[in-house]
Amino acid sequence: MRLRTLLPGRLGFGTAPLGNMFRAIPEEEARATLRAAWDQGIRYYDSAPFYGAGLAEIRLGEMLAEHPRDSYVLSTKVGRVILDEVEDPAARDLGEKGGLFEHGRPNKIVDDYSADATYRSIEESLKRLGTDRLDIVWVHDIAQDFHGDRWLAQFETARTGAFRVLSKLREEGVIKAWGLGVNRVEPVELTLDLDEPRPDGFLLAGRYTLLDHARALQRVLPTATEQGVDLVVGGPYSSGVLAGGAHFEYQEAPREIVERVGRIRELTERHGISVKAAALQFALAHPASVAAIPGATRPSRIAEDLGALDERVPDAFWAELRESGLLSPEAPLPTA
């Protein structure tokens, strides 16, 4: 199924921050944020076992339990199994993303993209989410940033394991769609080159943003458009640095990124618009993009995101952004 047909709107909610990413979020704050998202009309929610070792799924499931299952679209991910035994969250080997969920649950996280692990992961996600079915399942983080030189071997395990299981579940009507949920373009490029199995779309985080989009424009987005494969943009604010935060790529933003954000901010101020509006509307302007799923840990952020989606951004802003070299000449613009 085309994601553009399945998804209920252009803005969804990414629950990674609710897995206690970067900080320990009080339960009431997490509940209030999810309630705000629902009350303001958000009906697509994305989660993953990895987010706080199941914490984000548990928190999301508590909110969704208050609503009819047919009233929202739900996605989660496979590729990691959460065990009952515990470990030190701060000591996990997460490749380039060290310490990402050190405030999450201490349950041990095991990478496993095999067929058996895929079935187990889905079954356990359903329990944590308190639901009887998933709409979309993404194969999570099967790329260099987490697996280093081992990523191609992990990809091959997923190709013969998770990919085939998810294709079978889609054919049986158990799920409606599947794809990859990654922070790198290379596994997406590989998957698009496969004759089978065929994914329905991709959740690509951080690679189609104002700060980083040139590589995605080379092969991924043209090929996806050609093949009718849709893109959900994760991390449209580049881990928060485009929304006033201090993180880029889930780590402290380096100086050159901070300077680039400063140049973008100068232009937005000159044209009287918000950086969030520029970031969201840019990410959604490509024909392949069907939704963006920023995360949030505070209720006020939901209204900001919805407002940014509707904010009027003058064509002159995009023209000046491109003239300044901050935007690729190949990037489609959200002009009137």
pLDDT at 212: 95
Segment 93-100 shows an average pLDDT of 76
Query: Annotated catalytic residue: which of 51, 72, 113, 237?
Result: 51
Q: What percent of the chain has pLDDT over 70?
A: 100
Q: Answer yes or no: 176 catalytic.
A: no
Q: Answer yes or no: 39 catalytic.
A: no
Segment 85-106 shows an average pLDDT of 86
pLDDT at 92: 85
H-helix or E-strand containing 65? none
- Tens of pLDDT, residue by residue over 23-81, are 999 999 999 999 999 999 999 999 999 999 999 999 999 999 999 999 999 999 999 99
Looking at residue 10, the DSSP 8-state letter turns out to be: S
Query: Annotated catalytic residue: which of 46, 112, 141, 230?
Result: 46
- Tens of pLDDT, residue by residue over 135-177, are 999 999 999 999 999 999 999 999 999 999 999 999 999 999 9
Q: What percent of the chain has pLDDT over 90?
A: 88
Banded pLDDT at 251 (limits 50, 70, 90)? confident
Cα distance between residue 124 and residue 111, in whole Å: 15
Q: Answer yes or no: 132 catalytic.
A: no
Please say whether the beta carbons of 231 and 290 come within 8 A. Answer: yes
Could you tell me where the DSSP H helices lie in the chain?
3-6, 27-39, 55-64, 115-129, 144-147, 151-160, 162-171, 186-193, 214-218, 220-227, 255-271, 275-283, 300-310, 315-323
- Tens of pLDDT, residue by residue over 119-137, are 999 999 999 999 999 999 9
Cα distance between residue 72 and residue 136, in whole Å: 12
**pLDDT at residue 97 is higher than 80:** no
Query: Annotated catalytic residue: which of 44, 77, 141, 237?
Result: 77
pLDDT at 189: 97
Segment 11-28 shows an average pLDDT of 94
Q: Give the amino acid at 316.
A: A
pLDDT at 336: 55
DSSP secondary structure of 214-257: HHHHHTHHHHHHHHT-EEEEE-TTGGGGGGT-SEETTEEPPHHH
Segment 235-263 shows an average pLDDT of 88
pLDDT at 245: 85
pLDDT at 248: 84
Mean pLDDT taken over the chain: 95
pLDDT at 168: 98
Cα Rg, the chain, nearest whole Å:
19
This prediction's pTM: 0.96
